[in-house]
Structure 1
Amino acid sequence: MQSDDSNYLIAPDPAAPRLTRAVQGVDHEGRAIDINVVEERPLTIYLNSQEIVTAMTIGDYPEYLALGFLKNQGMLASGEEVTGVDYDEELEVVVVRTASQTTYEDKLKKKTRTSGCAVGTVFGDMMEGLEGLTLPATEVRTSWLYALAHRINTTPSLYLEAGAIHGSVLCQGDRPLVYMEDVGRHNAVDKIAGWMVSEGVSGDDKILYTTGRLTSEMVIKTALMGIPVLASRSGFTAWGVEIARQVGLTCVGRMRGRRFVCLSGAERLHWDVDPASVAEEDRKHRRKSAE
């Protein structure tokens, strides 16, 4: 599902038939209506012969989701040779194969449910991957943040088409590169991580934009991907901010029109545009963000 927009490498395809389904109902005046709602389907991820997790997902880019999930959970080490990623659409299973043998029984016993939509899952020792982590001291221009927010919020997407979904976008400078959506914000981020692993893309000079809350797991995943900047139109959790400060991640939230708040890593910001010159956000996008 490649975008027709040449400025994106991957963008949402809200017209894809498998991602939404027409459902009949009635509106507030009792009139019959048909609306498109987002589909959910299970995807079971295997690492070699071991079943790891079953995630609820919209079903696009299953190979990227599997690779990114395993990478962000510390189950694919740096330099690990992936020999194959096989997806069976009928069985709704992805098998990621590696050259070396892997055993994660102990890690699987320590998984913890997170507050994420579609019930995110984080393993108990994920924080270990942050020890000694140093994120690059890149500059972030505020003009980039404004340009990205406007561009992303006006890109045709399932979010604008049907709601009930989260988006995450890998960006470089003021250019959005890869835009992924899913019922859980963690899934959307994992798809981006999987694309980066598959394409050999570094996070050093990237920005990760998300429509969801800036929680502890979102901060951890961003840091583990080597991305120094995390931005969102939504708000923060206290633990998310604390971890961002510990690892030196720039965390920018509540991005609406000309407004934003930075609670960590403000030293990377370069104020190169007067906020008064930035247009306020369109009402349509304000309504969607409240849904």
Structure 2
Amino acid sequence: MIHNMQFKVLGRIEISHGHDTSVFVKKSKTGQVLALLLARNNETVGVDTLIEELWGDRVPRSALTTLQTYVYHARKMFARSLHVPCAESLLVTRPPGYLISVPDDAVDANVFECLVKQGIAGLSAGNAELAADRLTEALTLWQGPPFAGMPVGDVLDAHVTYLHELRLSAITHHVEANKRLGRYQVLVPELRSLVAANPLNEGFHSQLIEVLHKCGRRAEALQAYQRLWRVLDAELGVAPAPEVQRLHHEVLAHGRSVRTPNPV
């Protein structure tokens, strides 16, 4: 196992060795192989799985030889560009396939996942301060779509989808933690951005309505509800969920107790 290396995959793939040497992995089939191995670091990824990722159901006759060539080029990059002394101990051949052998915390996606789980657990335990800190740290790691710019086949796509869903969960719980800490004003711009980026996510709309109401911005809270209604009607032909409608009625009535559904 090679230490003193870092792999960033939340955004463009960037690999660094020590403090002074780093490279961005270019869009290529070699990069796609590395992406899948990093998504499953320290786990042997079978040749059949790698071939499925690279070519789907259009597998060429030379698939195995070509895959071996991509592995060779990856090791060459580690040795020449990153000065890894023994690339074979980093990108390991282990039947029936290959693996990237690095500490789990060397891959930013693993750190992200760990921090999100810690934050959600902290919130469940009633420690909103810990939850906010951990989730803020996790979300800061997100520099763009996972493996940005890299070809993504069916196998890797499932992992990318998982990371996107985990990020949405992290955002939802991050908002909830800050609400419990009374940081309503800080949340308004964040929630407006989330609503703009996720117009059909009723949870984000609901959070925005509540936070605006908590800030004493009742008119804006009602406007936010009307925008949600129009979007859902135009896009799906449905009304807001009963929980969101109850929130709307509470805002109309100046209810002191304003609650939204628990984060999922």
Q: Which structure has more helix as a fraction of its residues? A: 2
Q: Same fold (TM over 0.5)?
A: no
User: Given the two structures, how large is their TM-score scaled by the length of structure 1?
Assistant: 0.27
TM-score by length of 2: 0.29
Higher strand share: 1
